[in-house]
DNA sequence: CTACTATTTGATCCA
DNA sequence: CAAATAGTAG
């Protein structure tokens, strides 16, 4: 550790701290060490430390690191996770204070969009008459943008009205919006109904988690009383709501540590705002800053090119960043004929590097970082053809699979009978001859009778209320009995994995897949993988509020009164709640509920395959978007399509952010970096001529030797450098010759 | 009314 | 290339 690293770790816990540093400077490691330092040196109880990471996967990685430093027990007590998952946890814990039911379901983006699509339909003619094309995607987007700024429908109206009309047009008012701004009018109307739908469904979308979280922590001080120190990683990519949340959680002790790098802010499109760095200094005037300037990750030539790229951002505040590593091979810029040749090159080059490195590099040392996922298609097939094992990183893809969503929907419905998206999905799946018309009848009557759709169907089934036109009673018999069976098991706190098995059995789901899907084998495997995920999740469940052991408190004079008080308040509150309604903490956190929450928020879906050869399974080339590569590093990074139209993306509105994204991609590399382009590429159905991104051409204008068209040479010198950068042993020369021959 | 097939459309990045 | 939509048979 350098002097400044140490200063950052050991900085006084009572003085708010910003650790600002470039890529590869060990920011996250410093943050992790600081947590350990707070616990060991300052005797702060782990349960009064809140650590916020950017993804839940990052939280898991931090947990692994901390387990080594402070042990499993202490690590499990930390309040750790993304802002979203922290909100979800505390909202369930204090559902009554937040005005929620503790069994609320998290509505993911896909389901949100489906709801919005339904709500948009009645406006179809209205829009067509005005020649406006408005798809549910853009409506969902606008609604989410508003929510992530804390705005409601009326605020959207207010904002639209504020815009001065163009010359000659009528000034907009809330009343005439329908005529003066029909698009916004429709968005706002859908927005209103969307909120009502979620409310009726006892459901929160991702934005709601933050909104309700801010409200909860902001209005009930006791909810955040436990927090003696909050630490936030990747702070440059927090949005306004998240920042507010941080200040509320820190309200009692004002002890905050953040790490971040403005140059790596790549989520402004999701309303992240780097000015939160300034806001923090405004709101915590005692804030001090520490800069880390040592890069431990990359060779000098990778760093030089990266810095040349980011330096083209004229708004940027200059930062120094240097590496102790040698220069190393100059990054390669190659132009291939088309995307097929590009993919082919990637596959053969990976094979070549594994050989010439004498096995120092294995598959998992390679990452292919793309601007968007669609670019992966050709590359995946090329890797398959060369039988190079690979995996697609990031995203939520697994949980978006049809078969996985089917199962999740049943479980959601079991946990929360009001959750309409799940009801709609399950009621006729597997097919029960309950079509569109029947469903809309059910929904309408349920709304009129002010009960949930599932409730209504259950009552019809029990013969307590009259049936609908095409009789439903007999069609839903198995549906209802399935739901009831699983529901009873769930109440007995049966594990999610067991619930899924029962469900599959009752639904005859395997048969259903065989009948309806030709690739049912793959899909059935995914279902099995969901069970794996459930059992894995069950093992690693961290209890939401582990009671502090008595002994720990007594040994811990600094972990003082306030903390004890904080817990006392929460505990009392729980007891009061128990009296008022039967939703105890225990009931609020059934295994099923924890599993569902993890499924909706998790990005960590690399389920380990079976018992055999775990190491082998992990050794795979990584395909990832640049966004999901945030915070990670690989010995070799290949960036395909470093072309104008991709970097910056043709539809992007923020050129500087696109540049930062390329910067982030380049700085993931430790020892080798490739920027690839093609002569022409299929873009939106047509072949188009491509050229090298101006982010690169401008960066190398003054210094052409920042990049080369040559492949990195397989010299001993280069192997030594690589071994040094990666801290790996140098392979024997014989090994290299052997592998080259095999190739 | 529902189930199934054929066609058209329209595609950044994410918790 | 997937999902929404239209159209047809049962
Ligand atoms: Mg980091």
Q: Looking at the domain assignment, is residue A368 inside a domain?
A: yes
> Can you give the distance from the CA of residue A402 to the C1' of nucleotide C2 in angstroms?
12
pLDDT tens-digit readout, A683-726: 877 888 999 999 999 999 999 999 999 999 999 999 999 999 99
Q: Is the CB of A433 under 7 A from strand C?
A: no
- Å between A432 CA and B2 C1'? 10
Do both A135 and A196 map to the same domain? yes
8 A C-beta contact, residue A273 and residue A664: no
| Residue A326 belongs to a domain | yes
Cα A283 to averaged position of ligand 1 atoms, centre (Å): 24
**Protein-to-nucleotide distance from the CA of A9 to the C1' of B3, whole angstroms:** 64
The protein residues having a beta carbon less than 7 Å from any atom of strand B are: A 54-56, 82, 84-85, 109, 133, 135, 137, 144, 206-207, 269-270, 371-374, 394-396, 428, 431-438, 469-470, 601, 603, 625, 627-628, 649, 651-653, 684-685
Distance between the alpha carbon (CA) of A689 and the C1' atom of B9, Å = 25
Cα three-residue angle A584-A577-A249, rounded to 5 degrees: 90
- Which chain B positions come under 7 Å from a protein C-beta? 1-4, 10-15
Phi, psi of A548 (to 5 degrees): -70, 130
Are A357 and A719 in contact by the 8 Å Cβ rule? The answer is: yes
| Pair type for strands A17-21 and A686-689 | unpaired
Asked if the peptide bond before residue A430 counts as cis, ω within 30 degrees of 0, the response is yes
Query: Which residue approaches C4 most closely, CA to C1'?
Result: A117
Contacts 24+ apart (CB under 8 A), A609-618: A618/A364
Which residues are paired to A367 by β-bridges? A622, A637
Predicted pLDDT of residue A518: 80
SS3 A73: helix
Does residue A423 sit in the same domain as residue A505?
yes
C1' of nucleotide B3: residue with nearest CA: A433
The DSSP result for A269-326, as a single string, is GGTB-TTHHHHHHHHSTT-EEEEE-EE-SS-HHHHHHHHHHHTT-TTSPP---EESS-
Note whether A238 and A157 are same-domain residues: no
Residues A432 and A521 grouped into a single domain? yes
Residue A63: inside a domain, yes or no? yes
Nucleic strand C within 7 A of Cβ A114 = yes
The H helix count followed by the E strand count for chain A is 35, 18
Tell whether A606 is covered by a domain: no
Q: Is the shortest CB-to-strand distance from A117 to strand C under 7 Å?
A: yes
Distance A121 CA to B8 C1' (A): 19
Q: How far apart (Å, rounded) are the C-alpha atoms in residues A483 and A410?
A: 8
Asked whether the beta carbons of A30 and A8 are under 8 A apart, the reply is yes
| Shared-domain flag, residues A90 and A190 | no
Report pLDDT for A548: 41
List the one residue out of A77, A76, A11 whose CA is nearest residue A255: A11
- Residue A694's nearest CA partner among A724, A722, A665, A656 is A656
Rounded distance from Cα A668 to ligand 1 centre (Å): 11
Give the nucleotide at minimum CA-to-C1' distance from A53: B15
Domain end residue (candidates: A476, A505, A538): A538
Q: Cα(first)–Cα(last) distance of chain A, in Å?
A: 41
The whole-number Å distance from A532's CA to B9's C1' is 37
Strand C proximal to A470 Cβ, under 7 A: no
Distance A427 CA to B4 C1' (A): 19
> Residue A724, CB half-sphere, CA atoms under 13 Å: how many?
15
Is residue A548 assigned to a domain?
A: no
**Nearest nucleotide (CA of A432 to C1'):** B2
Q: Alpha helix locations (H) across A149-204? A: 153-162, 177-180, 182-200
Give residue A53 CA to ligand 1 midpoint distance, Å. Answer: 9
Q: What is the pTM of this model?
A: 0.91
Dist. CA A28 → ligand 1 center (Å): 4
Q: How far apart (Å, rounded) are the C-alpha atoms in residues A73 and A490?
A: 28
Matching residue, tokens 């978007």: A625
CB A631 within 8 A of CB A641: no
Q: Give the distance, in angstroms, between residue A46 CA and nucleotide B15 C1'.
A: 25
In a domain, A10, yes or no: yes
In this structure, the answer to whether residues A526 and A416 fall within a common structural domain is yes
Do A129 and A183 lie in a common domain?
A: yes
Tell me how many domains chain A contains: 4
Domain identity same for A75 and A14: yes
CA distance A9 to A7: 6
The three-point CA angle A623-A625-A629 to 5° equals 90
Q: Which nucleotide is nearest to A600 (CA to C1')?
A: B15
Please report the pLDDT score of residue A15 as a whole number.
Answer: 97
**How far is the C-alpha of A691 from the C-alpha of A645, rounded, in Å?**
9
Q: Please give the pLDDT value at position A169.
A: 74
Question: Which nucleotide is at minimal CA–C1' distance from A400?
Answer: C2
Angle, alpha carbons A45-A49-A50 (nearest 5°): 160
Q: Is residue A563 part of a domain?
A: no
- Structural domain span for residue A162: 108-204
The DSSP bridge partners found for residue A689 are: A680
Helix (H) or strand (E) holding A260: strand A256-260
Q: Could you say which residues of chain A have pLDDT below 50?
A: 542-584, 607-613
At which of A153, A177, A204 does a domain end? A204
A475 and A349 fall within a common domain: no
Distance CA A272, CA A243 (A): 10
Nearest nucleotide (CA of A140 to C1'): B14
CA/C1' separation A516–C6 (Å)? 21
- Decide which of A270, A295, A320 is a domain's last residue: A295
Question: What's the Å distance between residue A622 CA and nucleotide B12 C1'?
Answer: 19
Q: Specify the pLDDT at position A542.
A: 47
Rounded, the Å distance between the CA of A370 and C1' of B13 is 10
Residues A268 and A309 in one domain: no
The enclosing domain of A368 has a CATH number of: 3.40.50.300
Is the C-beta atom of A397 closer than 7 angstroms to strand C?
no
How do A256-260 and A229-232 pair as beta strands? parallel
Residues A96 and A244 in one domain: yes
Q: Are residues A20 and A92 in the same domain?
A: yes
The enclosing domain of A460 has a CATH number of 1.10.486.10
**Cβ of A562 less than 7 A from strand C:** no
* Residue A576: inside a domain: no
pLDDT for A165: 64
How far is residue A584's CA from residue A573's CA, in Å, rounded to a whole number? 10
Q: What is the pLDDT of residues A463-515, one digit of tens each?
A: 999 999 889 999 999 999 999 999 999 999 999 999 999 999 999 999 888 88
């Amino acid at each position: 550790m350098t002097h400044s690293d140490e200063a950052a770790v050991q900085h006084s816990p009572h003085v708010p701290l910003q650790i600002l540093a470039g890529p590869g400077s060990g920011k996250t490691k410093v943050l992790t060490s600081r947590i350990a330092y707070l616990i060991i040196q300052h005797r702060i109880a782990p349960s009064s430390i809140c650590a916020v990471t950017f993804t839940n996967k990052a939280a898991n990685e931090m947990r692994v690191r901390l387990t080594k430093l402070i042990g499993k027990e202490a690590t499990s007590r930390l309040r750790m996770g993304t802002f979203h998952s922290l909100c979800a946890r505390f909202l369930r814990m204090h559902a009554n204070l937040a005005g929620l039911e503790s069994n609320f379901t998290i509505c993911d983006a896909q389901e949100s969009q489906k709801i919005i699509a339904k709500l948009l339909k009645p406006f179809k003619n209205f829009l067509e008459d005005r020649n406006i094309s408005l798809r549910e995607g853009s409506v969902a987007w606008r609604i989410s943008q508003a929510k992530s700024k804390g705005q409601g429908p009326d605020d959207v109206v207010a904002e639209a009205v504020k815009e001065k009309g163009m010359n000659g047009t009528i000034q907009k008012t809330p009343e005439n919006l329908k005529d003066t701004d029909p698009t916004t009018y429709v968005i706002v109307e859908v927005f209103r109904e969307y909120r009502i739908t979620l409310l009726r469904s006892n459901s929160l979308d991702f934005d709601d988690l933050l909104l309700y979280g801010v409200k909860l922590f902001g209005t009930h001080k006791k909810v955040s009383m436990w927090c003696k120190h909050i630490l936030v990683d990747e702070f440059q990519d927090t949005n306004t709501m998240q920042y507010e949340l941080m200040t509320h959680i820190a309200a009692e002790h004002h002890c905050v540590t953040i790490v971040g790098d403005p140059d790596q802010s790549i989520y402004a499109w999701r309303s992240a705002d780097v000015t939160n760095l300034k806001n923090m200094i405004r709101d915590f005037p005692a804030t001090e800053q520490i800069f880390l300037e040592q890069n431990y990750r990359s060779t000098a030539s990778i760093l030089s090119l990266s810095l040349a790229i980011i330096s083209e951002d004229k708004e940027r505040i200059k930062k120094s960043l240097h590496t102790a590593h040698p220069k190393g091979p100059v990054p390669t810029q190659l132009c291939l004929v088309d995307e097929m040749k590009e993919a082919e090159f990637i596959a053969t080059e990976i094979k070549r590097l594994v050989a010439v490195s004498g096995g120092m590099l294995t598959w998992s040392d390679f990452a292919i970082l793309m601007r968007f996922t669609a670019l992966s298609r050709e590359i995946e097939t090329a890797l398959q053809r060369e039988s190079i094992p690979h995996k697609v990183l990031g995203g939520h893809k697994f949980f978006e699979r049809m078969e996985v969503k089917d199962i999740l929907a049943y479980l959601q419905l079991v946990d929360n009978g009001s959750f309409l998206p799940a009801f709609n999905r399950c009621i006729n799946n597997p097919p029960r001859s309950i079509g569109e018309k029947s469903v809309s009848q059910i929904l309408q009557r349920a709304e009129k009778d002010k009960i949930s759709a599932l409730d209504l169907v259950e009552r019809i089934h029990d013969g307590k209320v009259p049936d609908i036109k095409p009789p439903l009673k007999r069609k839903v018999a198995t549906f209802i009995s399935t739901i009831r069976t699983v529901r009873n098991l769930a109440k007995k706190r049966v594990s999610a994995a067991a619930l899924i098995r029962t469900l599959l059995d009752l639904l005859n789901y395997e048969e259903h897949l065989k009948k309806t899907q030709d690739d049912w084998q793959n899909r059935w495997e995914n279902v099995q993988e969901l069970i794996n995920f459930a059992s894995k999740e069950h093992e690693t469940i961290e209890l939401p509020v582990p009671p502090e052991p008595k002994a720990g408190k007594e040994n811990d004079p600094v972990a003082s009164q306030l903390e004890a008080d904080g817990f006392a308040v929460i505990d009392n509150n729980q007891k009061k709640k128990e009296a008022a309604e039967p939703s105890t903490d225990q009931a609020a956190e059934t295994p099923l509920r924890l599993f569902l929450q993890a499924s909706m928020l998790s990005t960590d879906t690399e389920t380990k395959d079976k018992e055999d050869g775990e190491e082998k399974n992990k050794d795979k080339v990584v395909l990832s978007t640049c966004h999901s590569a945030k915070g990670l590093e690989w010995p070799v990074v290949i960036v395909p399509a470093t072309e104008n139209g991709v970097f910056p993306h043709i539809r992007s509105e923020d050129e500087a952010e696109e540049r930062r994204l390329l910067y982030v991609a380049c700085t993931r590399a430790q020892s080798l970096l490739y920027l690839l382009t093609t002569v022409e590429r299929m873009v939106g159905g047509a072949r188009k001529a491509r050229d090298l991104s101006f982010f690169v051409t401008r960066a190398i204008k003054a210094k052409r030797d920042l990049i080369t068209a040559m492949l990195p040479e397989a010299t001993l010198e280069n192997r030594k450098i690589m071994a040094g950068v990666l801290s790996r042993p140098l392979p024997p020369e014989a090994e290299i010759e052997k592998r080259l021959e095999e190739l």
